[in-house]
Amino acid sequence: MKKKLKIVTIGGGSSYTPELIEGFIKRKDELDIKELWLVDIEAGLEKLEIVGALAKRMVKAAGLDWEVNLTLDRRAALKDADFVSTQLRVGLLDARIKDERIPLSHGIIGQETNGAGGMFKAFRTIPVILDIVEEMKELCPDAWLVNFTNPSGMVTEAVIRYGNWDKVVGLCNVPIMCNKIAAGALEEKEENLFFRFGGLNHFHWHRVWDKTGKEKTKEVIELAYSSPDGLGKALEKIMGQSNPSDGNNEDAVQNSGVQNIPNIGFLPEQVMNLGIIPCMYHRYYYITDDMLKEELEAYDKGETRAEVVKRTETELFELYKDPNLSIKPPQLAKRGGAYYSDAACELISSIYNDKRSHMVVSTRNEGAISDLPDDVVVEVSSVITSNGPVPISWGTFDTSSRGLLQHMKDMELTTIMAAVTGDYSAALQAFTINPLVPSGKIAQTLLDEMLLAHKDYLPQFKDVINRL
């Protein structure tokens, strides 16, 4: 008989938590849950209490007897846990605003997981995650760590490489959105298509086949990328096949993961030459000038994505306070990142039940992408077993994408090393080799300014910051 589950969510006061609870409720017949623990820090106490009360109402409305515990005591929560999920944001949304606005003030891409902003999110986040891993080694050594804290790929890599913890899986909602775009373009149901992904978190490509085994990748590119509004039309089509009662209507998807990124069309000729389908975040690398122009316009109006999200979150938590609310409100889709939490629940269920679900996750390469070392973390299609992900082979990339992939992986590894060690020269090197950051004095000026702006959350850089 299987043990009843204790599941812990660190960052439990997140606005995403209702979707997480909904995902567990949907799988009540698959997951024998005894305890759900929502953990946060003192600065997040008010949000934890608000969203925790909603979580309790949702569980009660579903007729379940699960214990829902709210706490600021991380160690108490971790004791004997079976699964630990992380959805934390070090420095809260104000830190994200700095990650976006400071680079933009220098005329440089400012984005949560790409460029200078993404590297600084890694600098703040990785030491905290590694502290959690050390506590897990002591308090729940058999637990799985399910990470969807961004930058998810780099965090997962740090846990394996520096935390020496193999029972970790990184998750992202972008592959889910990519599936929906392809299905919409083909006017086909997702379950009738087979997808294979290869690359890095927020930097992957994919291919598509139908049930007969015929590859549809080129057709998706022609339909979805041959015009500036092709992606939007693809999403509209797939929404016509969705159940509005699930919150999967057109408005919900248009305002989900895609809205985090300006919907500017790729260059059709360039994507056709690739022969594989890029993810939305490739816009930052394939059409950098167009993306920067869009971001600078938002910056001038005080409407960077982080600033919009902060306002949206305020509205969400006002909704969550309603004592009569006992479901996930559809407005949550406007927050961005839809399907993250549901993916986490499916991952947990697949490990717990050895379901062999087909999912796209960040995990150790193990030969899946032959252009990268076996021991680095990649984001690839995998079969999720009771022993974790088993990567599906992608093979090799051609010359149009291979070098950029390898370059980005080395940038990630350099960033992670700087995050762990507090080595200023490694941080500068990471800035220098990142394609979205100009090199030389501009990189150093930006690095120094961001170190000072985030000084309260960068203890590993304390000596450097004092000198600055």
Q: What is the CATH number of the domain that holds 151?
A: 3.40.50.720
Residues 188, 68: Cα–Cα separation, whole Å = 39
CA angle 287, 337, 86 (to 5 degrees): 120
**What pLDDT digit, counting tens, does each position of 177-191 carry?**
899 999 999 999 999
pLDDT at position 243 is 39
Establish if 415 belongs to a structural domain: no
pLDDT at position 331 is 76
> Could you say which of 281, 299, 339, 352 is catalytic?
281
pLDDT at position 335 is 62
pLDDT at position 240 is 52
Establish if 149 belongs to a structural domain: yes
| 162 has catalytic annotation | no
**Residue scoring higher pLDDT (328 or 99):** 99
pLDDT at position 2 is 76
DSSP E strand stretches across 45-167: 67-71, 83-86, 144-147
Establish if 249 belongs to a structural domain: no
CB count within 10 Å of CB 214 equals: 9
Instruction: Name the domain count of the chain.
Output: 1
Establish if 61 belongs to a structural domain: yes
Establish if 73 belongs to a structural domain: yes
Q: Are strands 388-391 and 377-385 parallel, antiparallel or unpaired?
A: antiparallel
Residue matched to tokens 């820090």: 41
Establish if 72 belongs to a structural domain: yes
Whole-number Cα distances in Å, 53 to 49, 74, 269, 323, 325? 6, 19, 51, 8, 10
Around 24, how many Cα atoms within 13 Å sit in the side-chain half-sphere? 29
Q: Is the pLDDT of residue 294 over 70?
A: yes
Give yes or no for a contact between 372 and 365, defined as CB atoms under 8 angstroms apart: yes
pLDDT at position 330 is 79
Establish if 123 belongs to a structural domain: yes
**Structural domain boundaries enclosing 77:** 5-91+116-170
Establish if 35 belongs to a structural domain: yes
Q: Give the global pTM.
A: 0.93
